[in-house]
Amino acid sequence: MKKRVPVAGELDKIIGQRIRSFRLAKGMSQEELGIQLGVTFQQVQKYENGKNRLSGSRLITVAKVLGT
């Protein structure tokens, strides 16, 4: 049986959930993460909810800030 590959919208949600879990594990607020990324906390919310897609370079920056 073939393994099902998530479609783009589902993948955005999965990435957002992981960002949220790493952020919470560090005890960081959405506002603090947003400041370090140069975006508003509302933008961080959209990333975490999968409503907005992160570019590759932004994803790398998030990973560095969160230490992953």
Counted domains in the chain: 1
Q: What are the phi and psi torsion angles at 2 (to 5°)?
A: -75, 145
Model confidence at 7, in pLDDT bands (50, 70, 90)? Answer: confident
Model confidence at 8, in pLDDT bands (50, 70, 90)? Answer: confident
Residue 20 lies in a domain: yes
Residue 14 lies in a domain: yes
CATH of the domain at 12: 1.10.260.40
pLDDT tens column, 20-54: 999 999 999 999 999 999 999 999 999 999 999 99
Model confidence at 4, in pLDDT bands (50, 70, 90)? Answer: confident
Q: Give the domain range for residue 46.
A: 8-66
Closest residue by Cα to residue 34 from 13, 48, 55, 18:
48
**How much is the pLDDT for 50?**
94
Residue 3 lies in a domain: no
